[in-house]
Chain A
Amino acid sequence: MGDLFVLVVSCILINNILLAQYLGNCPFLGTSKKMETAIGMAMAVVFVLVMAGVITWMTNTFFLVKFDLEYLRTVAFILVIASLVQFVEMFLKKSIPALYAGLGIFLPLITTNCAVMGVCLINVNEEYTFMQALVASFGYAVGFGLALILFAGVREKTLLARVPRPLQDTSIALVTAGILSLTFMAFKGMV
Chain B
Amino acid sequence: MAKSLTQEFVKGLWDEVPPFRLVLGLCPVLAVTKSVENGIGMGVATTFVLVGSNVLVSALRKLIPAKVRIACYIVIIATFVTVVELLMQAFQYELYLKLGIFIPLIVVNCIVLGRAEAFASKNGPVRSLLDGLGIGLGFTCSLAALASVRELLGTGYLTIWKDWGLVYHIFGSAYKPFSFMIEAPGAFMALGLMLCLMNLVGKK
Contacts and interface: CB of A to CB of B under 8 A. Distances in A.
Contacts of A112: 108, 110, 113
Contacts of B27: 22-26, 114, 118
B64 interface: no
Given A78-B74, A174-B189, A178-B189, A118 B26 contact: no
Interface string A1-43: 0000000000000000001111111100100000000000000
Nearest to B78: A75
A184 B189 CA distance: 15
Interface string A152-191: 0000000000000111101111110111011011000000
Interface stretch (A46-54, A57-65, A66-74, A92-100): A66-74
Contacts, number: 117
Contacts of A178: 185-189, 192
B101 A71 contact: no
Contacts of B189: 174-175, 178-179
A121 interface: yes
A73 to B, nearest CB: 7
B24 A26 contact: yes
B123 interface: no
Interface of B: 23-27, 30-31, 71, 74-75, 78-79, 81-82, 85-86, 100-101, 104-105, 107-110, 113, 183-189, 191-193, 195-197, 199-200
A125 B184 CA distance: 21
B105 A173 contact: no
Interface residues of A, number: 45
What does DSSP make chain A's interface, helix, strand, loop or mixed?
helix
Given A71-B86, A185-B183, A121 B105 contact: yes
Given A26-B110, A71-B85, 18 more contacts: A23-B31, A25-B26, A25-B27, A74-B85, A75-B79, A82-B74, A112-B113, A114-B105, A114-B108, A114-B109, A118-B105, A165-B199, A171-B193, A174-B195, A178-B185, A179-B185, A185-B183, A185-B185
Contacts of B192: 167, 170-175, 177-178
B50 to A, nearest CB: 15
B79 to A, nearest CB: 7
